[in-house]
Amino acid sequence: MQAFRLVVEYYNYFVTIFLMVAGLYVVIARGNMIKKLVGLAIFQTSVYLLYITPGKILGGTAPILDPAFKVYSNPLPHVLILTAIVVGVATLALGLALVARINEAYGSIEEDETFERDREA
Amino acid sequence: MRQRSLFGVVILSGVYSFLMASVLIVLDAVDVAMTEASVGAGVSTVLLLATLHLTKTTEATSFRGTMIPLFVAVVTGAALIWSTFDLPPFGTAEAPIHKHVAPYYLENSLRETTVPNVVTSVLADYRGYDTLGETTVIFTAGIGVMLLLRGARRRDRAADVEGSS
Amino acid sequence: MSLDLILRIGTKLILPFILLFALYVQFHGEYGPGGGFQAGVITAGMVILFAITFGLRAAKRIAPQALVERMVPLGVLIFAGTGVLGLLLGHNYLDYGPLAHDPAHGRVLGIFLVEAGVLVTVSGTMTALFYAFAERGR
């Protein structure tokens, strides 16, 4: 019973860690640069969860003030993550632009092939 | 299971973003969910597809080992889970995060700014510096992409000129 | 041409409502979920949808590239300028209190200006990013 309680109380953190580790694995194990960037995006969403999860209060509601409600979730992590998402897409676009340029220069978006091309040169 | 078609990867990541947006709604972060749905599933997917159009849509067969990355990932995950139990449990109102500045924002937002959406008042007023910095980062990233992609293949042309002369 | 008839008509029908929704999200952001970031992305989404169905050249007629690229720094200038306004009126940087007689009203005005700056930068940047990628493909 104790173990079950522990799992339920920390379930969100486990999901966060699973997503984080999955993103990390994709970034390390896959040589394809598009896949690497998608892996980074997954890692990033795990950070969103890591910030939003502690801000939630059970029985609370979204932080839009109304006399009908008393308990609100913490608005501060929402603000931080809201801006982080938009910055995330801006940096993703920068990464994609680099991938496009690498493809023009090397004719490949595989990490291994670009390394090989460098070694030949 | 392995998805070699990068097109499939991009579409799946869009689906994942929508699912993440629903999770964020459940966690009361409606503003964040709206941003994730429009940014993660909308603009990111379009940009990824545009990049696929510029590059290739299939992944080459790779001869990399998966054991070392798997080991690194599992060890990192185990260490993180081990340290998770020091965090306050999910959903408690007594957690330290709810004792710091958040009660001030929730109590004074309506009186000081007359804005009921606390996320907006914190974003634009109480933490204006933060948002100014983030806007500057977006500006910088936009400039960077334009520099990288608008530099219209000048090197190719230079190479052509050298080749012909 | 005739094959994508539904796409063309559907896009034309839905475009004004997307823009209306973006404006709603922008100006209702103080009372419900939304704000400059979301509205900016939705506005850019409208332009991107138009560009995907009708082609890049048509999209550049409704959102000229020069305008879009000037919007990127303009929004940051609006944001930073609002901060300087507070400085000129003898208060701290990014303190909107003195913008009106009542500090609360001044803050509403300041939040409005700042959100407008965010809208301009985000919509401009997202559209410019799409233009940059789409142009490269030709």
Angle at the Cα of C68 from the Cα atoms of C66 and C71, rounded to 5 degrees: 110
pLDDT for A65-104, tens place per residue? 888 888 888 999 999 999 899 889 999 999 999 999 999 8
Give the pLDDT mean for C91-96.
82
Q: What is the residue type of B30?
A: V
C72/B139 CB distance under 8 A: yes
Is residue B100 pLDDT above 90, yes or no?
Answer: no
Decide: C83 and C94 in contact? Cβ < 8 Å. yes
CB–CB contacts below 8 A, A to C? 21
pLDDT tens for each residue of C120-131: 999 999 999 999
Query: What CATH number has the domain bearing residue A72?
Result: 1.10.287.3510
Residue C82's closest CA among C100, C69, C102, C68?
Answer: C100
- Predicted local distance difference test score (pLDDT) of residue B155: 52
Say if the Cβ atoms of C124 and B142 lie within 8 Å. Answer: yes
A15 part of contact set with chain C, CB < 8 Å = no
| Residue B152 pLDDT class (50, 70, 90 cuts) | low
Residue B6 in domain: yes
| pLDDT on residue B158 | 47
Task: Tell me, yes or no, if B158 comes closer than 8 A to chain A by beta carbon.
Answer: no
Yes or no: say if B32 and A81 are a contact pair by the CB < 8 Å rule: yes
- Reduced to 3 states (helix: H, G, I; strand: E, B; else coil), residue A71 is coil
Instruction: Give the closest residue to C26 by CA, choosing from B34, A32, A38, B152.
Output: B34
Q: What is the CA radius of gyration of chain B?
A: 23
Count of domains for chain A: 1
CB A49 within 8 A of CB B16: no
Helices (H), chain B: 6-26, 30-35, 44-54, 67-84, 102-113, 118-121, 128-150, 154-164
Average pLDDT over residues A29-46: 92
SS (H, E, C) C94-106: CCCHHHCCCHHHH
Report, as an integer, the average pLDDT of B131-137: 92
Question: pLDDT tens, C45-60?
Answer: 999 999 989 888 999 9
What angle separates helix A33-55 from helix A11-29, to the nearest 10 degrees? Answer: 160
Q: Which of C107, C119, C123 to mutate to test the interface with B (most CBs of B within 10 A)?
A: C107
CB-based contact, A65 to chain C, within 8 Å: no
The answer to whether the CB atoms of A86 and C31 lie below 8 A apart is no
Q: Under a CB-based contact definition with an 8 Å cutoff, are residues C121 and C72 in contact?
A: yes
Residue B1 pLDDT grade (very low, low, confident, very high; cuts 50, 70, 90):
low
Cα of B165 to nearest chain A Cα, Å: 22
| CA atoms of B95 and B42, how far apart (whole Å) | 35
Shortest alpha-carbon distance between residue A116 and chain C (Å): 26
Which of B58, C136, B13, B5 lies closest to A108, judged by CA? Answer: B58
Asked if C98 reaches chain B (Cβ–Cβ under 8 Å), the answer is no
* Between B65 and A38, residue with greater pLDDT: A38
Which are the contacts of C96, defined by CB distance < 8 A and separation ≥ 6?
B125, C82, C86, C106, C107, C109, C110, C111, C113
Supply the mean pLDDT for chain C.
Answer: 88
Question: What letter represents residue C138's amino acid?
Answer: R
Q: Does C33 touch chain B (CB under 8 A)?
A: yes
Neighbours of B42 (CB within 10 A): 22
pLDDT tens-digit profile of B66-86? 889 899 999 999 999 998 888
Chain A hits for C41, Cβ within 8 Å: 86
* Residue closest to C34 by CA, chosen among B35, B25, B123: B35
Any C CB within 8 A of B140 CB: no
B43 neighbors A89 (Cβ within 8 angstroms): yes
Q: How far is B35 from chain A (nearest CA, A)?
A: 7
- On chain C, the residues whose CB falls within 8 A of the CB of A100 are 133, 136
Cα B136 to Cα A107: distance, rounded to the nearest angstrom: 33
Backbone angles phi and psi of B85, in degrees to 5: -70, -5
> Percentage of chain C with pLDDT > 70?
97
**Cβ pair A96:B51 closer than 8 A:** yes
Which chain A residues are within 8 Å of C32, Cβ to Cβ?
A: 64
Environment class of C41 (CB within 10 Å of its CB; exposed 0-12, middle 13-18, buried 19+): buried
Task: Give the nearest partner residue to C132 out of B31, B53, B145, using CB atoms.
Answer: B145
Provide the domain count of chain B: 1
- B48/C76 Cα distance (integer angstroms): 26
Interface probe, candidates A83, A91, A103, chain B, greatest B C-beta count within 10 A: A83
Domain boundaries, chain C: 5-136
State whether A93 and B92 contact (CB < 8 Å). Answer: no
Asked if residue B163 has pLDDT above 50, the reply is no
Residue B7: half-sphere exposure toward Cβ, Cα within 13 Å: 5
Whole-number Å distance between alpha carbons of A37 and A93: 10
- If phi > 0 it is left, if psi is from -120 to 50 it is alpha, else beta; for residue B28 that is left
